[in-house]
């Protein structure tokens, strides 16, 4: 029935459209609406001034005015809009500044709407999958029973010119403080540090 888990999990999804596409659609709707109003007005005035009577004559005149004035609705704007999006997507694919230094691969624009959405980003949400951090999370500081043990991260590689791998093996302030506490069994922080 409708109350089963599989039926309740089925959600109706809205079509994803860019803001620019929404604005373009609303402009086109406004132009079509104004075209209908103007054609009705022109057909009605031609009916009042003209010699023929009847609804059939009104419909024919409406269609005539529609055919004469339909150019105010820019259908080619959609075509130009899509061509520009494809061109800008190709620019992203060929951008030398968007090359991954590890793999040497260029960025790939897999959707045409990507280009126009880039300038409209308001919020960035991030998960902890390592996309941004490249899974290189480092333990920074530790405070045990109110005492700060100090910095656990190695000094930055750029500060002393060494590579990150060689710096990572050096003893930091936090590591030395933790070892000192663990060696002294009489220290009240020894038990807490072992739990840590």
Q: Name the one residue in this structure whose structure tokens are 């130009």.
A: 80
Distances (CA, A) of 66 to 36, 52, 117, 134: 8, 19, 35, 59
Asked if 127 is an active-site residue, the reply is: yes
∠ CA(169), CA(174), CA(178), 5° rounding?
Answer: 105
Q: Which of 127, 145, 148, 184 is catalytic?
A: 127
- What gap in Å lies between CA 163 and CA 79, rounded to an integer? 52
**Both tokens of residue 20?**
């620019």
With contact defined as beta carbons under 8 Å apart, do 193 and 144 qualify? yes
Catalytically active residues are 127
């Amino acid at each position: 029935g409708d109350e089963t888990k599989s039926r309740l999990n089925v959600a109706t999804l809205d079509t994803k459209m860019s803001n620019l596409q929404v604005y373009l659609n609303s402009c086109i709707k406004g132009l079509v609406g104004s075209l209908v109003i103007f054609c009705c007005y022109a057909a009605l005035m031609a009916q009042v001034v003209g010699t023929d009577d009847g609804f059939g004559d009104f419909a024919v005149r409406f269609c005539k005015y529609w055919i004469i004035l339909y150019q105010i609705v820019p259908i080619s704007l959609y075509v130009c809009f899509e061509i520009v999006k494809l061109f800008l997507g190709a620019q992203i694919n060929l951008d030398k500044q968007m090359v991954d230094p590890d793999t040497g691969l260029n960025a790939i624009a897999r959707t045409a709407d990507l280009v126009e959405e880039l300038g409209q980003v308001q919020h960035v949400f991030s998960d902890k999958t390592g996309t941004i951090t490249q899974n290189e999370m480092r333990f920074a500081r530790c405070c045990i029973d109110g005492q700060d043990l100090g910095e656990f991260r190695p000094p930055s590689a750029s500060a002393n010119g060494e590579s990150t791998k060689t710096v990572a093996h050096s003893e930091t302030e936090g590591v030395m403080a933790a070892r000192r506490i663990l060696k002294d069994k009489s220290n009240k922080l020894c038990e807490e540090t072992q739990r840590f």
